[in-house]
Amino acid sequence: MSKEVSFIDELIQHRENIQIEFVGEYNLIQILQEICSFLNTEGGWVLVGYNGNEFNDISEGIEFKVKELKNSIINQIFPQPLVDVRCEKYKNQQVLLINVIKGSRQPYSYKKKYYVRTGTKTNEATADEISLLMRTSNENTSTWEKQTAIDASLEDLEQKEIEITINESIKIGRGKSLPKDIPGFLNYFQLLDMNLVKNGSIVLFAKDPLKFISQCQIRITVMPYGKTGSRFDDTVLIEDNLFVAFNRIQEYFKRNLPMISEFKHDNWDRTNREKYPMEALDEAILNAMVHRDYADIAGDISINIYPDKMEIINSGEIPPDIISGKNIIKEHHSVFRNPTIAHMFYLRGKIEKLGRGLSLIKDRFAENGLKTPEWTSQSGYTTLTLYGYSKPIDVNERMLAYLKKLKVGEQFSREDFEKFFEENISEKTARNDISKLLEGEWVNKKGEGPSTKYVRTNKELPGIAD
């Protein structure tokens, strides 16, 4: 089962705990009304192709449906929302998974009508409900972005970055309905009001953001001797707007982070990989930029690079309903602390899977066989720890005993594994043991189904877990 499938499974299983609507057939009008209602309440998920009991085939013309739905969201819901639409495969069925980020500019309308959620139902909003939305639209989101930056003017903004944002949004199909002129564009997103430049404009586009907002800093520190070391090898201070800063961090990582050379245990071909998956690093930096608490004047973003790990620290704690422990990501719908900043990155194509960033980071590290990243929050700050070494694999005495009797290249089946222990272990235990041997690359898989065999590689025998 793929990670995407498992995510949909979790959404279905936890339908009582999260905002989710099932739409059995592809009905464009109904889907847009559901999206609008989520925008006006707490956000959530819409799953198209499943009615709550069974799946329906919506695969015919699925690419056209995705394109039609994306265009309709952009052009028919006002103001422009943050909504992610993608086609997923679930149990051999194609479904549409729609992530609706809670709107920061409520009320939202579809064809000049407003919709809200009442319990698990979508209804057209009454006059009183519309009035309430207007009064409480910013209750659960930061208003820091929309506060006026004292003494700032349009001339303090980097016009080129704003033009790139407008042009990129049009290029990737997200800006068709948006104003094309710079003042109109900024006004639309409440980044400019009556020539008053807002904080959000400064951190996103200013030529010199530090001139107006002292906490616009990102610090990269290399600590070759760990936290207790007395010497730093490198400290880079970035004081640019977010788009320039993001590019500078990318360039720093590409230039300075090492490549790892490895030999596969079934051949002598050398493979090179980045010590940390770059896609995951990009997502981690974006998360820190979008979710940090900019109102904390003492809070910047710190990136600490150690010999075996990296820490990315930003002001603002991660909500407890998103992560359990240090790395168990719960089913959730996103509420951005800085929704306008998030929207600008979305228009630039930097954010693709809305609400799935944490899972993407975790998945990329798992795909590279690295230890699972960990998130911790304390004293108003969130720390993401990324590990540059493989996650430990628990190998028991039973697994080691079987490996010792195998020669390099020797094949065996799951039944052979069970018989070796005189069938004193269950099929489930045998499968779990073999799965760990595969994960540790002590064996390789050959074939599928009943004819599956496993082949001993030349990787050295492991130690025993305590």
pLDDT per position as a tens digit, 355-367 = 678 888 998 998 8
pLDDT above 90: residue 160:
yes
Q: Which residues of 399-425 are buried (b: 16+ CB within 10 A; e: fewer)?
A: bbebbeebeeeeebbbeebbebeeeee
What total of structural domains would you count in the chain?
4
pLDDT above 50: residue 141:
no
- Average pLDDT in the 412-416 region? 94
- Average pLDDT in the 422-432 region? 89
Could you tell me if 292 and 163 lie in one domain?
Answer: no
Could you tell me if 185 and 253 lie in one domain?
Answer: no
The phi, psi pair for 26, rounded to 5°, reads: -80, 100
The whole-number pLDDT of residue 262 equals 56
Could you tell me if 161 and 120 lie in one domain?
Answer: no
Tokens read off for 289 = 């930029």
* 465 occurs within a structural domain: no
User: What single letter denotes the amino acid at residue 221?
Assistant: T
pLDDT per position as a tens digit, 85-130 = 999 888 888 999 999 988 888 899 999 999 999 888 899 999 998 8
Could you tell me if 179 and 202 lie in one domain?
Answer: yes
Gap between the Cα atoms of 443 and 455, Å rounded: 5
Least confident of 159-168, 360-369, 426-435: 360-369
CATH number of domain containing 43:
3.30.950.30
Gap between the Cα atoms of 40 and 105, Å rounded: 9
pLDDT per position as a tens digit, 292-313 = 999 888 888 999 999 899 999 9
* 432 occurs within a structural domain: yes
| Cβ-Cβ contacts under 8 Å for 442 (sequence gap 6 or more) | 265, 403, 456, 457, 459, 461, 462
- Average pLDDT in the 258-285 region? 73
- Average pLDDT in the 71-82 region? 92
Backbone dihedral region of 20: left (phi > 0), alpha (psi from -120 to 50 degrees) or beta? beta
Could you tell me if 77 and 184 lie in one domain?
Answer: no
* 462 occurs within a structural domain: no
Gap between the Cα atoms of 117 and 222, Å rounded: 49
The whole-number pLDDT of residue 5 equals 42
The phi, psi pair for 220, rounded to 5°, reads: -110, 125
Residue 46's domain comprises 3-140
pLDDT above 80: residue 330:
no
Could you tell me if 65 and 164 lie in one domain?
Answer: no
- Name the band, by pLDDT with cuts 50, 70 and 90, for residue 16: low
pLDDT above 90: residue 135:
no
- Name the band, by pLDDT with cuts 50, 70 and 90, for residue 331: low
Could you tell me if 29 and 74 lie in one domain?
Answer: yes
CATH number of domain containing 351:
3.30.565.60
The whole-number pLDDT of residue 394 equals 81
* 294 occurs within a structural domain: yes
Could you tell me if 116 and 30 lie in one domain?
Answer: yes
- Name the band, by pLDDT with cuts 50, 70 and 90, for residue 4: very low
* 213 occurs within a structural domain: no
At which of 119, 140, 161 does a domain end?
A: 140
The whole-number pLDDT of residue 3 equals 43
Asked if residue 74 lies in contact with residue 43, where contact means CB atoms within 8 angstroms, the answer is no
For residue 7, what are the CA distances in angstroms to 124, 326, 331?
30, 19, 8
| Cβ-Cβ contacts under 8 Å for 231 (sequence gap 6 or more) | 224, 225
| Greater model confidence, 386 or 229 | 386
pLDDT above 70: residue 448:
yes
At which of 80, 108, 140 does a domain end?
A: 140
Mean pLDDT, the chain, as a whole number? 87
Beta bridge partners of 77: 110
CATH number of domain containing 410:
1.10.10.10
Asked if residue 73 lies in contact with residue 85, where contact means CB atoms within 8 angstroms, the answer is yes
pLDDT above 50: residue 1:
no
Number of Cβ within a 10 Å radius of residue 83: 24
- Average pLDDT in the 203-216 region? 95
Beta bridge partners of 45: 20, 99
At which of 156, 186, 208 does a domain end?
A: 208
- Average pLDDT in the 125-151 region? 79
| Greater model confidence, 231 or 372 | 372
* 96 occurs within a structural domain: yes
Could you tell me if 364 and 409 lie in one domain?
Answer: no
Most confidently modeled range among 139-143, 317-321, 401-405: 401-405
The whole-number pLDDT of residue 466 equals 46
- Average pLDDT in the 398-415 region? 93
Could you tell me if 276 and 341 lie in one domain?
Answer: yes
Percent of the chain with pLDDT over 90: 55
Could you tell me if 232 and 289 lie in one domain?
Answer: yes
Asked if residue 405 lies in contact with residue 420, where contact means CB atoms within 8 angstroms, the answer is yes
Could you tell me if 117 and 179 lie in one domain?
Answer: no
pLDDT above 80: residue 332:
no
* 129 occurs within a structural domain: yes
* 463 occurs within a structural domain: no
Give the max Cα distance, the chain. 81
